[in-house]
Structure 1
Amino acid sequence: MTLDEYLSRPDAPTMAELRRRMRAFGVDVKSDAQIRQWRHRYADRLPSPRSCVALEKASAGAITRRDLRPDDYWLIWPDLPAPRAAQGTARGTGG
């Protein structure tokens, strides 16, 4: 689930509540505007790896690190399996 999908749900927390939840996991988000930028990928902005982990925990797993960083999550978190298309590239086989 994307951050936008999560925040669009009828039972979704407010951005301020999401920020409070993230703070409980050790990540202090400066403002609601920062979450809005991630939500709409303004100027291709993505949450940092640390913020991704906090968002995953703050959403009780509804949003995952994979959802937040679909193009590089396996490079950041090697414990998560790479998508099939990236596995050949990662091994140098070209596909």
Structure 2
Amino acid sequence: MIDIVRDGAAKVGGLGILASYLGIRHQAFYSWKRVPAERVLDFERVTGISRHLQRPDLYGARLAGPASSQAGTGEGAAP
């Protein structure tokens, strides 16, 4: 399972809860190599993890500024 899913699950209280919020089965997460494009915005809404961290290939790297949605993710947090 990818780290971003682990981080998201930790934020919402577990993998099953995250899957429920996204309307998928928790087993689907194990096939993800990255967050699917059609799930990015929902994943961001539910977990607070920036779309820029999830899919920089689609949304670009987050510009310097407030790191509110990056805090605690362990990825790309502003120094």
**Cα distance, 1:20 vs. partner?**
1.8
Aligned-partner SS, 1:16: helix
- Counterparts of 1:71-90 in structure 2, within 5 Å, are 72-74=57-59, 82-83=60-61
Q: C-alpha displacement at 1:37, in angstroms? A: 3.9
1:56 aligned onto 2:44: yes
Q: Give distance in 2, aligned partners of 1:12 and 1:51.
A: 16
Q: Would you say the 8 A contact 1:3–1:68 is kept in 2?
A: no
**What is the TM-score with the length of structure 2 in the denominator?**
0.54
**CA-atom RMSD, angstroms?**
2.7
- Larger of the two Rg values belongs to structure: 1
Q: How many residues align?
A: 60
**Structure 1 stretches of at least 4 aligned residues deviating more than 6 Å after TM superposition:** none
Shift of 1:12: 4.1
Q: How does 1:28-43 map to 2 (within 5 A)?
A: 28-29=23-24, 31-38=25-32
Q: Give me the whole-angstrom Cα distance separating, in 1, the residues matched to 2:35 and 2:8.
A: 15
In the alignment, is residue 18 of structure 1 matched against residue 18 of structure 2?
yes
Q: CA deviation at 1:6?
A: 3.5
Structure 1 match to 2:34: 46
State the percentage of identical aligned residues: 15
Name the TM-score, length of structure 1 as normaliser. 0.47
Amino acid of the residue matched to residue 21 of structure 2? R
Q: Is the 8 A contact 1:2 1:68 kept in 2?
A: yes
Partner Cα separation in structure 1 for residue 36 and residue 8 of structure 2:
18
What is the CA–CA distance in structure 1 between the aligned matches of 2:31 and 2:54, rounded to whole Å?
12
